[in-house]
Structure 1
Amino acid sequence: MDSRLEGPLPRIAYSFKQGTFDLKRLAPHLWFEADDGWSTAVRLGGHLPSLFRRIEHLGVVLASAQSGPLSTADTWERPSFQWVSHTGEFVEPSSGAEVRLASLKSVIAVVQEVEDQQVASLQFFDASGDGGLKLMLTNWSDLDYFEALVSIHGRPREEDNSKQGLLGGKEPGVPNRNTLPFEERDEEDAAVFSGFTPEMVLPIWSGLSRTLPDSQFPGVPGLLRRDALALAGNRHAWQVSKDTVLRAMEDMVTRGVALGGAVRNGLSYLPMAFRPKHWNQCGCGQTFFGECTQFTLRRCCGRTWEAWAVRHMNARGTDEVVCLEFYNGQRRFCGGLGLSSGATSGDHACWRGWLEK
């Protein structure tokens, strides 16, 4: 995905004129109303690996995900999901995105009516009914293939939606770490801060940057990652105000610095590299826009949240790197943000200067 930072891209649009899509005609016995009547939808099922493989033929899609105060949107060209049995995840190699099978409850094709426009998407939901991933069709998508996919995988709402049914009658081999939905793992045990000490955290701190961020702190069972940051001490991690985060990001936009961000929710993990060109404020927060990307930080999302600056050594072990990590009110990891690989030492110094204020 870093190649997108190299030059301008053609205009990407994800809304279509009224009448472009008609799920009632396409699936007359399967469609149902959603979003209080503003959308029509068809539940998708059948052989789940086949469904994920067919997504590639949709062409260019806009992938979006939300977690806590963060939401992102990134343009994917022919996403090629692959089933990785030893992790229990569908992985998209080009973007690095992951979808956890153990948390996946349903996949739905949705056509939303927005004034005189339509937005079509595939939406992926977890067991609690929360949306974990949305793939929106764009003006560079194959709209006929979208209809073909709905025709092939459309199912009645009440049909068997177990993991066994989704994988074509075979019980999936999912590793133990994924047998519970992401947000349900060891909540009570992990929330107990007493009993954990800095001596449990610091010896393995140097390896933290080589792991994909998760709510759990690797190597110390029952310890939440957010609580490990507090135990590590101010030399390694410290809280940052929301206004400071926004000012730091605005300064990076002004300097033309490329950023790397990621969102993790109960179902998916979506990383992306982007070079924001400008930002826009609204009542709920602030959005930073790249060529074909968006990164939104909400000031309020119905609950409290925290931002932490985390200090690591770079991959070569020669320089310190400071990244941001975001946590919701339950101290669950929501996503991260930092400078991309092309940032100069001056960029890093400026970024650290903001976060160390």
Structure 2
Amino acid sequence: MSHTEEVDLLSIDDPVSALEFLGHTASYFHALCFTKYTAPTKPQPHSEHLAIEYRLQLYLASNIVMDALKNQIVINETFENLLAQAKNPQHRVDPEFPPKEDGVSQLVSGPAHWRRHVGTSSMPPFKDGGKDGTVLEDLSPCWFMQNHPPPKHKPMVSASIRRRDGKDGGIPFVRAMREAFSLIGAVLYVLNPSQYEQGVETWQKLAATNCEGSAPKCAELMAGVLRIWASPFTVTQVISNRETPFHFDTLGNPNWYDCLLTVGRYGGGRLELKRVGRRFRYERGTMAFILSQVLEHGVAEVDGERICLASFMRPEVLKYILEWRAHASRPETVHSIEERLGVPEAERRGI
């Protein structure tokens, strides 16, 4: 092969597709959470594609999730009231940022965070150069371009992962994030199985039809990207910022979780929920699952460089692929999640 010949990174034959890897991860992770109180006498069965180092990470993460259920925070607001407030946000002339120092809002330490962080050195060389407050890229195997909604228009692969040779960094980055994206999906499977299953079913239906519903000349590329996309979420935004003003997100669904994974070389991270009056440690490697259309949130200024990977669902994609089956029910209570995960009644903390 000559040094000028381009390599098609989507033609590499992986032992297992990303979607299958996600399924193996979610099943194993759910089993770990479900057996926390049953004292299994033998190791949990697992796929041969889950390496021992990764299984250890899943075990540690399952402890974090189950410990978090024991440390619930009671909010003196109903979901309906919070949603009504979110639909009528206060008008601000200038953006309001959370204070750098801990003060009015109660600081909640949380049980732990995922320590197998993604350093900024593994970030792809996205074209915007990481200017503060910049959305470096939108990563999606299937989405509708801005102002090109269905049914008049058809979905395509986001521009950041269209280069099959990977010279823009997009495809290598998605490949490198397989385990992280799968862990994100596994946690979502525990928190909101319906949301997870709709995301996975969307990708399965696309793959089964060879992406025939995609934009012209896009089906082959979309099918290739789907083989390396290990997330149930339809979009992951790569955002460079040291701080984020209080805001509500608008691109998902109020009943669906978004996931914020914060990485980089920084310290002193704080994620604050404004109306709730709670503030959380938000150091690198932290995954935060949040109803971002309902809870006004922001990130205080950090010391260093921070990248946020924000994963969320685009409802129009699910509705287009799944047609009438796309729906979103109210998120479960902690009590309901504990019951579903087999937590003994005496150990339950949810209400």
TM-score (norm 2): 0.28
Greater relative CO (CA pairs within 8 A, separation 6+): 2
- Higher share in helix: 2
- Higher share in strand: 1
TM-score (norm 1): 0.28
